[in-house]
């Protein structure tokens, strides 16, 4: 029998109230535990609720159902013994590096001398010597995030929560910071017993974590768990490393929305209420061309394509899935390939591309067809923004509704399907 | 952090002077408060008295500013933290912001004199309160806005590191709010000079209150038709404004720059020699360090007292009860005040009187609009040209800001004596006085707007050879519209207020009167007719609020959407 877990989640739910009075479920039935000495990865696309879950654990937001126990005590409010590193370092710009690091100790009511000693020690550990009196704005992104780490470990937390801490950094900086941090952890130089890492970078998850939990969307829930049994330090080119990355991709593509109403899990398939990502038509066209060109010639392994195009899964999947919704590509078992329409699109000139895109848009994106129909039916052939926004808000948050509507407007404008006047917030057929 | 090295340097000497000056100011002010009642005894027009008079005027300003800060930190925080209070306080602040304070002087002065009869304190408090009412609202608004827009990630970081409420306020919320607050303090101070000058010599019916200061000096100079004395006062005020700008606001603004959150563009990149001196001085470090220690000890104490400022548990804390009680109290006071005001103003006021007052309001409104347009036609082209030349803008911007601070009511006698001398029509020629002080807001906002046009837009316009009227229509004007609106809104509010002193002017025994709501309020004040004063103020407030709601706000929202640069 294992010792008591550091963190224990049972049946955790999170929902937000909708404007019409209903509830919008973003996390459902989460059972999870963090064991001693473990780095647990939460992997998923944006909107899968993984960051929300981290916020619940951090006590920054209350769960709507289920229990969260941290170090044996129920969580209501930021628990003692838990510290967090944020995606944007969230440093206080008016405090120096030293003052930023001391902040949590000050809040705990530590004597000044003790706080100073511990802060300097943490700064030393994390490799920030010499930067004590600098202000955050004087530091590079990587150095700022180091301050974020120092500020978290200085309070000697039992559990460290990492909310995409490397995702705002460039590739090289992220890699350096990651390996430095992993070294500290493996050497036992951190006063930490366990960590949760939220990420949308598959390789990062495989490189750092002992266990990876894959999230599915709508509502956010745990899809699969992958144990990672590779020894540290892990080499990215190692076949077993690659194999695990590939398996995660396969799992992710298996869960991509199918272009049919009512998918296997009985989810609302592609009704009007589907959240659409704001992906530009330039990006869609560029992606298709890259896929059609050698070395892929119409079919690619997703990890390879992601690497080649330097896209994380949070960038790759919105594009791939939008194309899948439009039936220009097909995703299957970690692979992606052009459909017949997709190939025709690549080979066509601009006007034909627009016509094809308009056809696919009307046929397979219900919201686009819906707007088109409403405009057709109305006597003046115009409709206000609110007409559609309110409809969408029955299914999603106002922010998501805005994004979805903006996405469709962007596509429809390119396809010349309908027009939209933002200063008056009116949809119409008129283009000057 | 105390720097080792040179011993007592020039920086220290200057810093010591600054600190001593501040202390002297405080002492002078305290002495004044317990002094004998202000008599109607004439102020001697002797220039050697002017420095002391200026000091007194300044100390009133600073006292009011301290009061406004206290108000801001308490009431605005309350509004930001409590939904309940927010619903009551926000509309209240909005209305208060629109009430013409000058008209109110008479009412508050009598009230305060009644509280502390026979002491200078009553009259002083009345003046300070008047200035306070001209300063507090926009500061409170700005602070409230800032508290509501603290970046989520900082707020979460503060919570996750378990900062309690007290620490969060001083470590996160106040620093975040500072740049905007300092800017608003500056605007408030600028507006305040106008009121302090007006508040130093008030006549309500039989009672005349004269507080020693530049304002009462001017009042006396007007009685004596002494243009030389007016000139002396102008010079003294110019020096005061210059000093206040250099010693107080430049350093404050430059210092507050460091609290700007990443990504926010600074309005100006201020540098301040005074601030550099203060920063470099050892003395300040010596005085500051123990204070800093005490302050930090306060954090530790609060950390120990209120273990974790976490919203958890369902138990109703005493704070919630305090909040509820406060809101109820506010509502009761508000209802009583509204009831009294309606009763006071409307009973004994016939409908035709009301109609007349509204018509007068219309006249003043026409003046404000025409003047604003004239000022814009004059200043927009100049402002754009200045803004496009960074080296010129750097010089012009602070000058415009200083001119906005200069209390133009000091200039009125000069203009009025000219109108009298040349027998001009007061209905026309008194009007420009209304906008004299507030036109600068248009200018410096336009300068800021033009300076904010991105370099690339100029380059594109230049390379496409967009010139002349086309350039104004497509490049310059759209880019500055939101800025111009900000300036125009401020200028229009100020002009309404100024109408009370501008539409009725005096030069010795001669009285000039323009037709308008401002003159109505001024006349009824002179007569001590409180019913009509309140009626006039109510109608003017209604005009200001109405114009804000129906014209400025929709315009501003449209401009923000249509001309956003991003």
pLDDT at residue B339, rounded to an integer: 72
Judged by CB atoms closer than 8 Å, whether chains meet at A106 and B167 is answered as yes
Chosen from A77, A97, A107 to mutate, greatest number of chain B CBs within 10 A? A107
Contact residues on chain A for B172, CB-CB shorter than 8 A: 92
pLDDT at residue A171, rounded to an integer: 82
| Residue whose entry in the numeric block shows the structure tokens 């013994």 | A81
Residues 80-99 of A with CB under 8 A from B: 80, 82-84, 86-88, 90-95
Contact residues on chain B for A137, CB-CB shorter than 8 A: 262
Instruction: Return the CATH fold of A7-253.
Output: Rossmann fold (3.40.50)
pLDDT at residue B531, rounded to an integer: 75
Judged by CB atoms closer than 8 Å, whether chains meet at A106 and B156 is answered as no
Judged by CB atoms closer than 8 Å, whether chains meet at A92 and B154 is answered as yes
Contact B150, B172 (CB under 8 A): yes
For the domain spanning B330-566, the CATH number is 1.10.3720.10
Bigger pLDDT: B37 vs A103: A103
Residues 287-306 of B with CB under 8 A from A: 293, 296, 299-301, 303-304
Residues 407-426 of B with CB under 8 A from A: none
Residue B334 CB contacts under 8 Å (≥ 6 apart), including other chains: B88, B92
For residue A136, what is the nearest residue in chain B, using CA coordinates? B262
Considering just the CA atoms, what is the radius of gyration of chain A in Å? 24
pLDDT tens digit string along B129-187? 888 888 888 889 889 988 988 888 899 999 888 888 888 898 899 999 988 898 888 88
CA atoms of B502 and B499, how far apart (whole Å): 5
Contact B56, B123 (CB under 8 A): no
Judged by CB atoms closer than 8 Å, whether chains meet at A112 and B561 is answered as no
Chosen from A92, A134, A155 to mutate, greatest number of chain B CBs within 10 A? A92
Residues 236-265 of B with CB under 8 A from A: 258-262
Average pLDDT value for residue range B541-547: 86
Contact residues on chain B for A90, CB-CB shorter than 8 A: 151, 153-154, 156-157
Q: Is the pLDDT of residue B346 over 80?
A: no
CA atoms of A163 and A140, how far apart (whole Å): 19
Judged by CB atoms closer than 8 Å, whether chains meet at A107 and B172 is answered as no
Q: Is the pLDDT of residue B355 over 70?
A: yes
Band of the pLDDT at B366, cuts 50, 70, 90? very high
Q: Tell me whether A295 touches chain B (CB under 8 Å).
A: no
Query: Measured between CB atoms, which of A84, A87, A108 is closest to B303?
Result: A108
- A74 three-class SS: strand
Cβ-based contacts under 8 A for chains A and B? 92
Phi/psi for A129 (5° steps) reads: -50, 135
How high is the mean pLDDT of chain B? Answer: 79
Judged by CB atoms closer than 8 Å, whether chains meet at A78 and B162 is answered as yes
Share of chain B above pLDDT 90, in %: 9
pLDDT at residue A357, rounded to an integer: 92
| Residue whose entry in the numeric block shows the structure tokens 């002077």 | B17
pLDDT at residue A301, rounded to an integer: 87
pLDDT at residue B39, rounded to an integer: 53
For residue A57, what is the nearest residue in chain B, using CA coordinates? B160
DSSP B116: S
pLDDT at residue B528, rounded to an integer: 75
Share of chain B above pLDDT 70, in %: 82
CA distance A249 to chain B (A): 31
Bigger pLDDT: B214 vs A273: B214
Bigger pLDDT: B454 vs A180: A180
pLDDT tens digit string along B457-486? 888 888 888 888 888 888 888 888 888 998
Residue A392 CB contacts under 8 Å (≥ 6 apart), including other chains: A272, A273, A367, A400, A401, A404, A405
pLDDT at residue A288, rounded to an integer: 92
Q: Tell me whether A136 touches chain B (CB under 8 Å).
A: yes
pLDDT tens digit string along B262-298? 654 444 455 667 777 776 666 666 666 777 777 777 7
Return the biggest CA–CA distance within chain A.
76
Q: Is the pLDDT of residue B524 over 90?
A: no
For the domain spanning A281-346, the CATH number is 1.10.10.10
Bigger pLDDT: A382 vs B204: A382
Contact residues on chain B for A163, CB-CB shorter than 8 A: none
Residues 535-564 of B with CB under 8 A from A: 558, 561-562
Q: Give one DSSP letter per residue of B255-273, joined into a string.
A: HHGGGPPTTPPPS-----H
Contact B40, B203 (CB under 8 A): no
- Ramachandran region of residue A167, left (φ > 0), alpha (ψ -120 to 50) or beta? alpha
Judged by CB atoms closer than 8 Å, whether chains meet at B156 and A86 is answered as yes
Domain boundaries of chain A, sorted by first residue:
7-253, 281-346
- Ramachandran region of residue B151, left (φ > 0), alpha (ψ -120 to 50) or beta? beta
The whole-model pTM stands at 0.78
Over its length of 432 residues, how does chain A's per-residue pLDDT go in tens digits?
A: 456 788 999 999 898 877 666 778 888 889 999 999 899 999 987 778 888 899 999 988 888 888 999 988 888 888 888 999 988 888 888 889 999 999 888 888 888 899 999 999 999 988 889 999 998 888 988 899 999 999 999 999 999 999 989 988 888 888 889 989 999 998 888 888 999 999 888 888 999 999 999 988 778 888 889 999 888 788 888 888 888 988 888 888 776 554 444 333 333 345 777 788 889 999 999 999 999 988 888 888 888 888 888 787 778 888 988 898 888 998 887 888 899 999 999 998 989 999 999 999 888 888 888 898 888 888 888 899 988 988 888 777 788 888 899 999 999 999 988 999 888 888 988 765
Q: Tell me whether A112 touches chain B (CB under 8 Å).
A: yes
For residue A160, what is the nearest residue in chain B, using CA coordinates? B160
CA distance B257 to chain A (A): 9
Q: Is the pLDDT of residue B30 over 60?
A: no
H or E element at residue A337: strand A335-338
Start-end of CATH 1.10.3720.10 domains in chain B: 1-307, 330-566
Chosen from B157, B262, B307, B313 to mutate, greatest number of chain A CBs within 10 A? B157
pLDDT at residue B119, rounded to an integer: 61
Does 2.60.120.260 match the CATH number of domain B1-307?
A: no
Query: Measured between CB atoms, which of A90, A111, A112 is closest to B156?
Result: A90
C-alpha torsion angle, residues A421, A423, A426, A432 (rounded to 10): -30
pLDDT at residue B374, rounded to an integer: 94
Q: Is the pLDDT of residue B422 over 50?
A: yes
Return the biggest CA–CA distance within chain B.
78
Judged by CB atoms closer than 8 Å, whether chains meet at A106 and B300 is answered as yes
pLDDT at residue A131, rounded to an integer: 92
Query: Measured between CB atoms, which of A55, A77, A104 is closest to B161?
Result: A104
Chain centroid to CA A399: 16
Pairing of strands A426-428, A7-17: unpaired
pLDDT tens digit string along B230-260? 888 889 988 988 888 888 888 888 888 778 7
Contact B415, B421 (CB under 8 A): no
Residues 309-328 of B with CB under 8 A from A: 310-313
């Amino acid at each position: 029998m294992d010792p008591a877990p550091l963190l224990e989640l049972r049946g955790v739910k999170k929902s937000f109230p909708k404007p019409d009075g209903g509830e919008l479920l973003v996390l459902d039935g989460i059972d999870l535990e963090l064991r001693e000495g473990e780095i647990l990865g939460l992997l998923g696309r944006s909107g899968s609720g993984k960051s929300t879950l981290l916020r619940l654990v951090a006590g920054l937001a209350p769960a709507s159902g289920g229990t969260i126990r941290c170090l044996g005590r129920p969580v209501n409010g930021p628990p003692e013994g838990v510290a967090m590193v944020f995606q944007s370092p969230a440093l206080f710009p008016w405090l120096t590096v030293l003052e930023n690091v001391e902040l949590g100790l000050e809040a705990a009511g530590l004597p000044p001398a003790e706080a100073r000693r511990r802060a300097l020690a943490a700064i030393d550990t994390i490799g920030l010597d010499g930067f004590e009196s600098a202000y955050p704005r004087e530091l590079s992104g990587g150095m700022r995030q180091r301050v974020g780490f120092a500020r978290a470990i200085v309070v000697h937390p039992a559990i460290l929560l990492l909310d995409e801490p490397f995702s705002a950094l460039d590739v090289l900086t992220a890699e350096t910071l990651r390996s430095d941090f992993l070294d500290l952890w493996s050497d036992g130089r951190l006063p930490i017993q366990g960590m949760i890492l939220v990420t949308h970078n598959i390789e990062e998850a495989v490189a750092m974590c002992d266990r990876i939990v894959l999230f599915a969307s709508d509502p956010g829930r745990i899809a699969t768990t992958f144990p990672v049994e590779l020894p540290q330090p892990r080499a990215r080119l190692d076949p077993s490393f690659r194999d695990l990355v590939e398996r995660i991709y396969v799992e992710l593509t298996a869960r991509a929305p199918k272009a049919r109403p009512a998918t296997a899990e009985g989810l609302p398939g592609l009704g009007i209420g589907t959240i659409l990502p704001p992906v530009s038509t330039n990006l869609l066209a560029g992606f298709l061309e890259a896929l059609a060109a050698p070395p892929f010639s119409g079919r690619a392994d997703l990890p390879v394509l992601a690497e080649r195009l330097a896209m994380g899964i949070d960038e790759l999947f919105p594009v791939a899935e939008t194309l899948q919704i439009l039936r220009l590509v097909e995703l299957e078992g970690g692979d992606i390939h052009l459909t017949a329409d997709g190939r025709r699109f690549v080979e066509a000139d601009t006007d034909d591309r627009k016509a094809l895109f308009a056809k696919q848009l009307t046929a397979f994106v219900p919201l686009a067809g819906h707007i088109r129909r409403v405009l057709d039916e109305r006597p003046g052939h115009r409709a206000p923004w609110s007409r559609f926004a309110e409809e969408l808000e029955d299914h999603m948050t106002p922010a998501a509704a805005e994004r979805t509507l903006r996405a469709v407007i962007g596509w429809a404008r390119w396809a010349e399907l309908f027009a939209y006047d933002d200063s008056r917030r009116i949809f119409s057929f008129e283009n000057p | 952090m105390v720097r080792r090295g040179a011993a007592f340097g020039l920086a220290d000497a200057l810093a010591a002077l600054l600190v001593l000056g501040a202390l002297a100011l405080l002492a002078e002010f305290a002495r004044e408060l317990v002094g004998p009642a202000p008599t109607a005894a004439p102020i001697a027009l002797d220039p050697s008295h002017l420095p002391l008079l200026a000091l007194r005027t300044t100390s009133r300003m600073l006292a009011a500013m301290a009061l406004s800060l206290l108000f801001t930190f308490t009431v605005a925080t309350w509004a930001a933290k409590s939904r309940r209070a927010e619903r009551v306080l926000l509309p209240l602040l909005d209305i208060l912001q629109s009430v013409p304070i000058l008209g109110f002087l008479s009412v508050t002065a009598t009230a305060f004199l009644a509280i502390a009869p026979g002491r200078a304190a009553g009259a002083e408090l009345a003046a300070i309160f008047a200035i306070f009412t001209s300063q507090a609202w926009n500061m409170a608004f700005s602070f409230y806005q800032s508290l509501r827009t603290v970046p989520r990630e900082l707020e979460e970081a503060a919570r996750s590191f378990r900062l309690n409420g007290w620490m969060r306020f001083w470590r996160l919320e106040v620093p975040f709010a500072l740049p905007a607050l300092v800017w608003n303090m500056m605007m408030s101070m600028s507006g305040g000079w106008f009121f302090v000058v007006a508040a130093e010599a008030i006549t309500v019916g039989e009672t005349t209150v004269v507080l020693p200061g530049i304002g009462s000096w001017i009042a006396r100079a007007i009685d004596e038709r002494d243009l030389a004395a007016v000139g002396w006062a102008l010079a003294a005020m110019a020096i005061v404004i210059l000093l206040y700008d250099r010693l107080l606001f430049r350093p404050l603004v430059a210092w507050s720059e460091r609290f700007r959150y990443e990504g926010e563009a600074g309005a100006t990149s201020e540098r301040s020699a005074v601030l550099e001196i203060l920063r470099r001085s050892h003395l300040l470090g010596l005085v500051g360090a123990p204070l800093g220690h005490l302050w930090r000890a306060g954090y530790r104490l609060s950390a120990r007292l209120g273990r974790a400022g976490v919203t958890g548990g369902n138990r109703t804390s005493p704070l919630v009860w305090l909040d509820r009680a406060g809101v109820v109290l506010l509502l009761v006071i508000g209802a009583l005040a509204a009831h009294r005001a309606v009763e006071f103003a409307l009973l004994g006021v016939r409908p035709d009187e009301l109609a007349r007052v509204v018509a007068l309001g219309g006249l003043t409104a026409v003046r404000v609009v025409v003047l604003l347009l004239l000022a814009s036609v004059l200043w927009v082209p100049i402002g754009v040209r200045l803004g496009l030349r960074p080296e010129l803008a750097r010089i012009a911007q602070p000058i415009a800001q200083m001119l906005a601070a200069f209390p133009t009511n000091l200039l009125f006698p000069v203009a009025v004596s000219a109108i009298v001398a040349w027998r001009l029509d007061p209905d026309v020629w008194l009007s420009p006085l209304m906008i004299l002080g507030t036109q600068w807001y248009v200018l410096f906002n336009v300068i800021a707007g033009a300076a904010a046009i991105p370099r690339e837009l100029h380059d594109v316009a230049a390379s496409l050879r967009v010139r002349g009227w086309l350039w104004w229509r497509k490049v310059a004007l759209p880019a500055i519209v939101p800025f111009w609106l900000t300036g125009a809104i401020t200028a229009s509010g100020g002009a309404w207020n100024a109408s009370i002193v501008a539409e009725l002017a005096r030069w010795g025994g001669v009285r000039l009167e323009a037709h308008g709501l401002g003159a109505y309020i001024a006349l009824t004040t002179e007569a001590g007719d409180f019913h009509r004063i309140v009626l006039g103020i109510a109608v003017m407030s209604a005009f200001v609020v109405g114009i804000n709601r129906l014209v400025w706000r929709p315009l501003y929202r449209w401009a923000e959407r249509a001309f956003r640069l991003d």
